[in-house]
Structure 1
Amino acid sequence: MSSALETLIEMGFDKQLSELAVKRAGNLDSAIEWIDKNQDKLTPEQITAELADAEDNEEAPALKPGEEARSLVCDTCQRKVRSSAQAEFHATKTGHQEFSESTEEIAPLTEEEKKARLEELRERLAAKRATQSDQDAIDRKKNEQIRMKSTKETQEAKENLEKKERLKEAAAKKAEKQADIDAKKRVLAKLEADKAERKRKAEVERAQRAGQAPPPPAPEPAAPTTSGPVLSKPASAYAETRLALQTPGGRVQKNFPVETTLFEVAHALGQDGVEVSSFTQNFPKKVYDKTDFGMTLKEAGMVPSAALIVK
């Protein structure tokens, strides 16, 4: 290992970078200048490739015997070389073709200059590492902020979705409860009407047996009031009915044409993964098994709405 290479490695430079600098520059002074200009431009992969390429090429030719010492300056990068042979070598490596003669002789660095240059390089490396460390800290902070923001937005979206589902479920429960109340009121009103009709018929029969005039017909009973919306049209005027269905997986609400059969309702639930063997209606209490599935919703009295338990 050359003394220039050993010195560069002792300074803390990467071994491959130091080897490439020595091959490109030839001596310690030039190697230090080369590292100063190129270390930030090359990746480890590029250094490896450049090193392999340098090993395949001949070393820069030395001064010819008896050649007068002088310097040439590259017009492109302002680099100074000692001889025309070294200028040709520089042109081959860099593609720089224009050189100017200079009467300035290139003097080697003194020991003090070498130490000052080494110290300057160390300070640059330390400053670069400190800057990179600060930038890494900034990047980590930004990434953490992005992650926290994403987590917060995801949590808020989840909470909003859960809130909407709760409101939807509460509305479905309320609608089903109201449908049950309305159905019960209709049944009670029908029972009262039937009771009044039987009483009227009995009074008519008694009057006929006694040879008296029949009593006047009883007035029509008032329709039961409900807390839900008042129907402005009879059930026969509806083309669609709303079903609140209590399935094993939860409550669902579906709308069907009034001529839809219970079999078609069961088939629609089956497409959602719900196997149906029967429907149960609480008010009035009625169980519809598969023998009843040919009935339409209109024939079953489930217009304009009904609540069913699916089994």
Structure 2
Amino acid sequence: MATSDLDQLVMMGFDKERSEMALKKSGGLADAIDWLDTNSSKTLEELKAEEAAAAEAKAAQAADEAKSLVCNECGKKFRGTAQAEFHATKSGHTDFSESTEEVAPLTEEERQAKLAQLREKLAAKRAVQAEQDKIDQKRNEQINRKKTKETEDLKEQLRMKEQIKEAEKKKREKQAEIDAKKRIQAKIAADKEERRLKAEREKAARAGTAPPVAAQPPPAPAPAAARPASEYKETRLRLQTSGGNIMKTFPVDTTLFEVAAAVGEEIGRDVESFAQNFPRKVFGQEFFGESLKDLKLVPSASLIVK
């Protein structure tokens, strides 16, 4: 039967209790012998007292070790560094310290309650975000509608300008055609008169009489003078709205405010201003107290309703 280290130490003459302490301290026969030699001058009671003191010191050291982290700004405790860092990121707190107090793990009920609380917070956050998304979407739609309306208004203005330019071009072409016809007719008449005079001169020469004198062309009729604006009693307005054009006739003393009221009743909204393309001018509400005659909108005018 194999002999244990304790038996060998006892056989060597060492006290059994001292031998047990030596083996516990060293873990091997040779080291145990060295420990017994080193502590041979100490009594058993002294060795036990030292062992008890060492155990107490170890326990105190274990008690002093940090088992958690505490946020000194809000008092929350965390099991580890990762949780403390997450809290610092979320709250902006920076003052943390170590604590020997261990954070007890959550019970199943506490864990379920915590999860339920987190779900409620998440649902509330999603609801707020959904409401904000609706507001943002509505605002974006309003912006897009405004941009679309402004674009359509600009296109309409450009279209009107093109129509006016085209009308003026056709008018010039028609006038040029009329002038050309007049010149041709005048040339034909002049040639005809020249031939007639030539024939009469030849006839007079043969007859020995005086040649005929060329007749002076009748003077061109003077153009009719345009009527001054003061002679007009009414003016005709072409009012362009988003729903189409409105043709109305007003007395020249009608104020622009009265025109706006009449148009507003017809289109179902308040009129903020009028715009005129040629000449380019905007009649805001500061002009609403003036008459159509004072605004030189006589005998007719074309206005864009804003």
**Into which bin does the TM-score normalised by the smaller protein fall?**
0.3 to 0.5
Higher relative contact order (CA 8 A, sep 6+): 1
What TM-score, normalized by structure 1, do the two folds share? 0.41
Kindly name which structure, 1 or 2, has the bigger radius of gyration based on alpha carbons.
2
